[in-house]
A and B are shown apart, each in its own frame.
Chain A
Amino acid sequence: MIQKDNLLDVLVELPSIPVIIQRLHDLLDKNKDYGVIDVASIIETDPAFTLKVLRLVNSAFYGCPRKIVSVSEAITILGFNTVHHLLLTTSLLDVFKTPHSRLDTMEFWLHSFGVGTMAKKLLHRADSGTQNEGFISGILHDIGRIILARLEPELFLMFYENNESAISIEREVDYFGIDHATLSGKLARKWNFPDSIATAVAKHHSFNEIEEHARLTAAVYIANILCHLLRVGNSGNSYISEFYPKAWQALEISLDELDPIINSALDEISKSQSIIYNLQKS
Protein backbone atom coordinates (compact mmCIF):
# COMPACT_ATOMS: atom_id res chain seq x y z
CA MET A 1 0.00 0.00 0.00
CA ILE A 2 1.16 3.54 -0.75
CA GLN A 3 1.47 5.28 2.61
CA LYS A 4 0.54 8.96 2.53
CA ASP A 5 3.75 9.73 4.45
CA ASN A 6 5.72 8.20 1.59
CA LEU A 7 3.75 10.01 -1.07
CA LEU A 8 6.40 12.64 -1.60
CA ASP A 9 8.94 9.90 -2.36
CA VAL A 10 6.49 8.25 -4.73
CA LEU A 11 5.85 11.51 -6.57
CA VAL A 12 9.57 12.24 -6.86
CA GLU A 13 9.98 8.91 -8.66
CA LEU A 14 7.24 9.71 -11.16
CA PRO A 15 8.19 10.78 -14.66
CA SER A 16 8.58 14.45 -15.43
CA ILE A 17 6.53 16.18 -18.04
CA PRO A 18 8.63 17.08 -21.10
CA VAL A 19 10.47 20.38 -20.70
CA ILE A 20 8.92 21.73 -23.90
CA ILE A 21 5.41 21.30 -22.50
CA GLN A 22 6.39 23.02 -19.26
CA ARG A 23 7.92 25.91 -21.18
CA LEU A 24 4.75 26.25 -23.27
CA HIS A 25 2.65 26.38 -20.09
CA ASP A 26 4.95 28.99 -18.58
CA LEU A 27 4.63 31.11 -21.68
CA LEU A 28 0.85 30.75 -21.69
CA ASP A 29 0.56 31.53 -17.97
CA LYS A 30 3.04 34.34 -17.53
CA ASN A 31 3.15 36.15 -20.83
CA LYS A 32 -0.25 37.16 -22.11
CA ASP A 33 1.30 38.89 -25.15
CA TYR A 34 3.01 35.80 -26.56
CA GLY A 35 3.08 35.41 -30.32
CA VAL A 36 3.61 32.70 -32.92
CA ILE A 37 7.38 33.29 -32.95
CA ASP A 38 7.62 32.78 -29.14
CA VAL A 39 5.75 29.47 -29.34
CA ALA A 40 7.65 28.30 -32.42
CA SER A 41 11.02 29.08 -30.86
CA ILE A 42 10.19 26.82 -27.89
CA ILE A 43 8.98 23.93 -30.07
CA GLU A 44 11.96 24.23 -32.45
CA THR A 45 14.39 23.47 -29.61
CA ASP A 46 13.18 19.85 -29.73
CA PRO A 47 13.50 17.98 -33.05
CA ALA A 48 10.91 15.32 -32.12
CA PHE A 49 8.28 17.95 -31.28
CA THR A 50 9.15 19.93 -34.41
CA LEU A 51 8.62 16.80 -36.48
CA LYS A 52 5.27 16.11 -34.79
CA VAL A 53 3.97 19.60 -35.58
CA LEU A 54 5.13 19.41 -39.20
CA ARG A 55 3.64 15.94 -39.65
CA LEU A 56 0.36 17.19 -38.23
CA VAL A 57 0.10 20.26 -40.47
CA ASN A 58 1.12 18.26 -43.54
CA SER A 59 -1.33 15.41 -42.81
CA ALA A 60 -4.14 14.72 -45.25
CA PHE A 61 -6.59 15.88 -42.57
CA TYR A 62 -5.62 19.55 -43.00
CA GLY A 63 -5.22 19.25 -46.77
CA CYS A 64 -2.67 22.06 -47.20
CA PRO A 65 -2.06 22.66 -50.92
CA ARG A 66 1.74 22.84 -50.39
CA LYS A 67 4.25 21.34 -47.97
CA ILE A 68 4.69 23.39 -44.80
CA VAL A 69 8.28 23.39 -43.55
CA SER A 70 8.33 25.93 -40.72
CA VAL A 71 6.87 25.53 -37.24
CA SER A 72 5.71 29.15 -37.11
CA GLU A 73 3.74 28.73 -40.31
CA ALA A 74 2.28 25.48 -38.96
CA ILE A 75 1.12 27.28 -35.80
CA THR A 76 -0.47 30.03 -37.88
CA ILE A 77 -2.41 27.42 -39.85
CA LEU A 78 -3.36 25.10 -36.98
CA GLY A 79 -3.75 27.61 -34.15
CA PHE A 80 -1.81 27.59 -30.92
CA ASN A 81 -4.39 25.59 -28.97
CA THR A 82 -4.49 22.73 -31.49
CA VAL A 83 -0.70 22.45 -31.45
CA HIS A 84 -0.54 22.73 -27.67
CA HIS A 85 -3.29 20.16 -27.04
CA LEU A 86 -1.92 17.59 -29.46
CA LEU A 87 1.65 17.94 -28.18
CA LEU A 88 0.41 17.58 -24.60
CA THR A 89 -1.66 14.52 -25.48
CA THR A 90 1.09 12.72 -27.38
CA SER A 91 3.79 13.56 -24.85
CA LEU A 92 1.68 12.20 -21.98
CA LEU A 93 1.12 9.06 -24.03
CA ASP A 94 4.89 8.66 -24.10
CA VAL A 95 5.27 9.29 -20.38
CA PHE A 96 2.61 6.80 -19.32
CA LYS A 97 3.01 3.69 -21.36
CA THR A 98 2.17 1.32 -18.55
CA PRO A 99 1.26 -2.19 -19.61
CA HIS A 100 -1.31 -3.65 -17.24
CA SER A 101 -3.96 -6.27 -17.97
CA ARG A 102 -6.65 -3.92 -16.58
CA LEU A 103 -5.64 -0.90 -18.65
CA ASP A 104 -5.40 -0.62 -22.41
CA THR A 105 -3.12 2.40 -22.98
CA MET A 106 -4.82 3.63 -26.15
CA GLU A 107 -8.35 3.15 -24.75
CA PHE A 108 -7.25 4.94 -21.58
CA TRP A 109 -5.96 7.87 -23.61
CA LEU A 110 -9.02 7.96 -25.79
CA HIS A 111 -11.10 8.34 -22.63
CA SER A 112 -8.78 11.07 -21.29
CA PHE A 113 -8.74 12.91 -24.61
CA GLY A 114 -12.52 12.51 -24.80
CA VAL A 115 -13.08 14.02 -21.36
CA GLY A 116 -10.70 16.88 -22.23
CA THR A 117 -12.53 17.59 -25.48
CA MET A 118 -16.00 17.27 -23.91
CA ALA A 119 -15.00 19.56 -20.99
CA LYS A 120 -13.67 22.11 -23.49
CA LYS A 121 -16.96 22.05 -25.42
CA LEU A 122 -19.05 22.37 -22.24
CA LEU A 123 -16.93 25.32 -21.16
CA HIS A 124 -17.15 26.90 -24.61
CA ARG A 125 -20.86 27.25 -23.86
CA ALA A 126 -20.56 27.92 -20.11
CA ASP A 127 -17.33 29.86 -19.58
CA SER A 128 -15.25 30.24 -22.71
CA GLY A 129 -12.22 31.73 -20.89
CA THR A 130 -11.43 28.38 -19.27
CA GLN A 131 -11.67 26.03 -22.26
CA ASN A 132 -7.93 25.38 -22.33
CA GLU A 133 -7.89 24.54 -18.61
CA GLY A 134 -10.87 22.25 -19.20
CA PHE A 135 -9.03 20.33 -21.89
CA ILE A 136 -5.86 19.92 -19.82
CA SER A 137 -7.84 18.89 -16.72
CA GLY A 138 -9.68 16.27 -18.77
CA ILE A 139 -6.46 14.87 -20.19
CA LEU A 140 -5.00 14.56 -16.68
CA HIS A 141 -8.09 13.58 -14.66
CA ASP A 142 -7.45 9.81 -14.42
CA ILE A 143 -3.67 9.81 -14.62
CA GLY A 144 -3.53 8.80 -10.95
CA ARG A 145 -4.99 5.45 -11.97
CA ILE A 146 -2.00 4.79 -14.22
CA ILE A 147 0.30 5.68 -11.33
CA LEU A 148 -1.53 3.20 -9.07
CA ALA A 149 -1.25 0.48 -11.75
CA ARG A 150 2.42 1.23 -12.15
CA LEU A 151 3.31 1.34 -8.46
CA GLU A 152 1.01 -1.40 -7.18
CA PRO A 153 0.27 -3.70 -10.16
CA GLU A 154 -0.94 -6.70 -8.15
CA LEU A 155 -3.05 -4.65 -5.75
CA PHE A 156 -4.47 -2.76 -8.72
CA LEU A 157 -5.58 -6.00 -10.35
CA MET A 158 -7.11 -7.24 -7.10
CA PHE A 159 -8.91 -3.92 -6.59
CA TYR A 160 -10.62 -4.03 -9.96
CA GLU A 161 -11.50 -7.71 -9.68
CA ASN A 162 -13.22 -7.01 -6.37
CA ASN A 163 -14.84 -3.70 -7.34
CA GLU A 164 -16.29 -4.23 -10.79
CA SER A 165 -19.44 -2.20 -10.38
CA ALA A 166 -18.45 1.40 -9.60
CA ILE A 167 -15.59 3.68 -8.77
CA SER A 168 -15.55 4.41 -5.07
CA ILE A 169 -12.98 6.89 -3.89
CA GLU A 170 -13.29 5.53 -0.33
CA ARG A 171 -12.60 1.96 -1.46
CA GLU A 172 -9.53 3.12 -3.35
CA VAL A 173 -8.23 4.81 -0.20
CA ASP A 174 -8.81 1.55 1.71
CA TYR A 175 -6.76 -0.37 -0.85
CA PHE A 176 -4.02 2.02 -1.86
CA GLY A 177 -3.89 4.60 0.93
CA ILE A 178 -4.84 7.27 -1.60
CA ASP A 179 -7.40 7.59 -4.39
CA HIS A 180 -6.61 8.09 -8.08
CA ALA A 181 -8.19 11.56 -8.26
CA THR A 182 -6.12 12.94 -5.37
CA LEU A 183 -3.03 11.37 -6.91
CA SER A 184 -3.85 12.96 -10.29
CA GLY A 185 -4.15 16.34 -8.55
CA LYS A 186 -0.79 15.87 -6.79
CA LEU A 187 0.86 15.06 -10.10
CA ALA A 188 -0.72 18.12 -11.74
CA ARG A 189 0.82 20.25 -8.98
CA LYS A 190 4.19 18.51 -9.32
CA TRP A 191 4.09 19.37 -13.01
CA ASN A 192 3.35 23.02 -12.16
CA PHE A 193 -0.11 23.17 -13.65
CA PRO A 194 -2.19 26.00 -12.13
CA ASP A 195 -4.27 25.50 -8.99
CA SER A 196 -7.51 25.53 -11.01
CA ILE A 197 -6.40 22.46 -13.02
CA ALA A 198 -5.01 20.61 -9.98
CA THR A 199 -8.32 21.20 -8.15
CA ALA A 200 -10.55 20.15 -11.06
CA VAL A 201 -8.49 16.98 -11.49
CA ALA A 202 -8.39 16.13 -7.78
CA LYS A 203 -12.14 16.67 -7.29
CA HIS A 204 -13.51 15.08 -10.45
CA HIS A 205 -15.35 12.48 -8.34
CA SER A 206 -16.08 14.73 -5.34
CA PHE A 207 -17.89 17.78 -6.62
CA ASN A 208 -19.61 18.01 -3.22
CA GLU A 209 -16.28 19.04 -1.65
CA ILE A 210 -15.55 21.85 -4.09
CA GLU A 211 -14.95 25.39 -2.79
CA GLU A 212 -13.11 27.03 -5.68
CA HIS A 213 -13.04 26.57 -9.46
CA ALA A 214 -16.55 25.11 -9.37
CA ARG A 215 -17.41 25.61 -13.03
CA LEU A 216 -14.16 24.12 -14.32
CA THR A 217 -14.49 21.15 -11.96
CA ALA A 218 -18.15 20.72 -12.94
CA ALA A 219 -17.15 20.62 -16.61
CA VAL A 220 -14.63 17.82 -15.98
CA TYR A 221 -17.09 15.97 -13.74
CA ILE A 222 -19.93 16.10 -16.30
CA ALA A 223 -17.58 15.46 -19.25
CA ASN A 224 -16.36 12.31 -17.50
CA ILE A 225 -19.94 11.09 -17.04
CA LEU A 226 -20.83 11.89 -20.66
CA CYS A 227 -17.77 10.01 -21.93
CA HIS A 228 -18.63 7.01 -19.74
CA LEU A 229 -22.23 7.06 -21.02
CA LEU A 230 -21.05 7.36 -24.63
CA ARG A 231 -18.30 4.78 -24.04
CA VAL A 232 -15.55 7.06 -25.30
CA GLY A 233 -12.45 5.00 -24.53
CA ASN A 234 -12.00 3.13 -21.28
CA SER A 235 -10.10 4.17 -18.19
CA GLY A 236 -10.47 0.86 -16.36
CA ASN A 237 -13.93 1.36 -14.88
CA SER A 238 -17.16 2.26 -16.67
CA TYR A 239 -19.38 3.36 -13.79
CA ILE A 240 -19.60 6.13 -11.20
CA SER A 241 -20.76 5.75 -7.61
CA GLU A 242 -22.49 9.12 -7.11
CA PHE A 243 -24.14 11.89 -9.15
CA TYR A 244 -24.09 15.49 -7.91
CA PRO A 245 -26.84 17.51 -9.64
CA LYS A 246 -25.13 20.71 -8.44
CA ALA A 247 -22.32 20.05 -10.91
CA TRP A 248 -24.77 20.17 -13.79
CA GLN A 249 -26.38 23.31 -12.33
CA ALA A 250 -22.94 24.98 -12.00
CA LEU A 251 -22.51 24.78 -15.77
CA GLU A 252 -25.76 26.69 -16.37
CA ILE A 253 -26.40 24.75 -19.56
CA SER A 254 -29.90 23.51 -20.36
CA LEU A 255 -30.48 19.93 -21.52
CA ASP A 256 -31.72 21.35 -24.84
CA GLU A 257 -28.25 22.75 -25.49
CA LEU A 258 -26.49 19.40 -25.13
CA ASP A 259 -27.06 18.17 -28.69
CA PRO A 260 -24.56 20.46 -30.47
CA ILE A 261 -22.08 20.15 -27.59
CA ILE A 262 -22.03 16.34 -27.68
CA ASN A 263 -22.03 16.08 -31.47
CA SER A 264 -19.26 18.60 -31.90
CA ALA A 265 -17.17 16.85 -29.19
CA LEU A 266 -17.70 13.40 -30.76
CA ASP A 267 -16.75 14.78 -34.20
CA GLU A 268 -13.56 16.31 -32.82
CA ILE A 269 -12.65 13.17 -30.85
CA SER A 270 -13.15 10.99 -33.89
CA LYS A 271 -11.07 13.27 -36.17
CA SER A 272 -8.26 13.72 -33.62
CA GLN A 273 -8.03 10.02 -32.79
CA SER A 274 -6.25 9.04 -36.01
CA ILE A 275 -4.03 12.13 -35.88
CA ILE A 276 -2.90 11.26 -32.35
CA TYR A 277 -2.22 7.64 -33.30
CA ASN A 278 -0.12 8.78 -36.26
CA LEU A 279 1.77 11.41 -34.28
CA GLN A 280 2.46 8.82 -31.63
CA LYS A 281 4.30 6.72 -34.22
CA SER A 282 6.56 9.64 -35.21
Chain B
Amino acid sequence: MGDTFSEEFQKQLETQMVDFESFVDTFVAKIPRNEEIAELAEVVKEIYLKRIKSGNAKLLERKK
Protein backbone atom coordinates (compact mmCIF):
# COMPACT_ATOMS: atom_id res chain seq x y z
CA MET B 1 0.00 0.00 0.00
CA GLY B 2 2.77 2.40 1.10
CA ASP B 3 4.82 1.47 -1.98
CA THR B 4 1.90 2.12 -4.36
CA PHE B 5 1.41 5.50 -2.74
CA SER B 6 5.10 6.35 -3.09
CA GLU B 7 5.11 5.25 -6.72
CA GLU B 8 2.06 7.37 -7.50
CA PHE B 9 3.65 10.29 -5.72
CA GLN B 10 6.89 9.84 -7.66
CA LYS B 11 4.94 9.72 -10.93
CA GLN B 12 3.17 12.98 -10.09
CA LEU B 13 6.47 14.62 -9.20
CA GLU B 14 8.01 13.53 -12.50
CA THR B 15 5.03 14.89 -14.46
CA GLN B 16 5.27 18.17 -12.56
CA MET B 17 9.00 18.42 -13.31
CA VAL B 18 8.67 17.62 -17.01
CA ASP B 19 5.80 20.09 -17.35
CA PHE B 20 7.81 22.84 -15.64
CA GLU B 21 10.95 22.22 -17.71
CA SER B 22 8.95 22.18 -20.91
CA PHE B 23 7.26 25.49 -20.01
CA VAL B 24 10.61 27.18 -19.24
CA ASP B 25 12.12 25.90 -22.51
CA THR B 26 9.13 27.23 -24.48
CA PHE B 27 9.34 30.57 -22.66
CA VAL B 28 13.01 30.96 -23.58
CA ALA B 29 12.54 29.73 -27.16
CA LYS B 30 9.97 32.45 -27.85
CA ILE B 31 12.45 35.25 -27.07
CA PRO B 32 14.82 36.40 -29.82
CA ARG B 33 18.53 36.73 -28.90
CA ASN B 34 17.89 34.51 -25.91
CA GLU B 35 21.37 33.27 -24.88
CA GLU B 36 21.53 35.30 -21.68
CA ILE B 37 17.99 34.61 -20.54
CA ALA B 38 18.64 30.93 -21.28
CA GLU B 39 21.44 31.00 -18.70
CA LEU B 40 19.17 32.71 -16.13
CA ALA B 41 16.32 30.28 -16.93
CA GLU B 42 18.58 27.25 -16.37
CA VAL B 43 19.45 28.53 -12.88
CA VAL B 44 15.76 29.17 -12.13
CA LYS B 45 14.94 25.65 -13.36
CA GLU B 46 17.54 24.11 -11.07
CA ILE B 47 16.33 26.11 -8.03
CA TYR B 48 12.68 25.28 -8.62
CA LEU B 49 13.21 21.58 -9.36
CA LYS B 50 15.22 21.27 -6.15
CA ARG B 51 12.38 23.06 -4.33
CA ILE B 52 9.58 20.83 -5.61
CA LYS B 53 11.63 17.66 -5.03
CA SER B 54 12.31 18.70 -1.45
CA GLY B 55 8.66 19.78 -0.94
CA ASN B 56 7.38 16.46 -2.23
CA ALA B 57 9.88 14.51 -0.15
CA LYS B 58 8.64 16.31 2.98
CA LEU B 59 5.02 15.59 2.05
CA LEU B 60 5.79 11.95 1.43
CA GLU B 61 7.60 11.69 4.75
CA ARG B 62 4.56 13.14 6.54
CA LYS B 63 2.20 10.68 4.79
CA LYS B 64 4.28 7.64 5.89
List the interface of chain A (C-beta within 8 A of B): 165-166, 225-226, 228-231, 238-243, 245, 248, 255, 258-259, 262-263, 266
List the interface of chain B (C-beta within 8 A of A): 20, 23-24, 27, 30-34, 36-37, 39-41, 43-44, 47-48, 51
Classify the interface of chain A: helix, strand, loop or mixed. helix
The 8 Å CB contact of B34, one of A243, A258, A262, is: A243
Residue of B nearest to A246 (CB): B36
A229 to B43, CA, bound (A): 11
A69 vs chain B, min Cβ distance (A): 36
Residues of B within 8 A of A240 (CB): 27, 31
Contact A263–B51 (Cβ < 8 Å): yes
Residues of B within 8 A of A266 (CB): 51
A250 vs chain B, min Cβ distance (A): 13
Contact A263–B47 (Cβ < 8 Å): yes
Q: Which 8 A-B pairs have the closest CB atoms?
A: A243-B37, A245-B36, A255-B43, A239-B30, A229-B44, A262-B47, A259-B47, A243-B31
12 example contacts (A-B, Cβ-Cβ < 8 A) are as follows A226-B44, A229-B44, A230-B44, A231-B23, A239-B31, A241-B31, A243-B31, A248-B36, A258-B43, A258-B44, A258-B47, A262-B51
Contact A230–B48 (Cβ < 8 Å): yes
Contact B27–A255 (Cβ < 8 Å): no
Residue of A nearest to B45 (CB): A229
Residues of A within 8 A of B40 (CB): 225, 248, 255
Residues of B within 8 A of A248 (CB): 36, 40
A166 to B28, CA, bound (A): 11
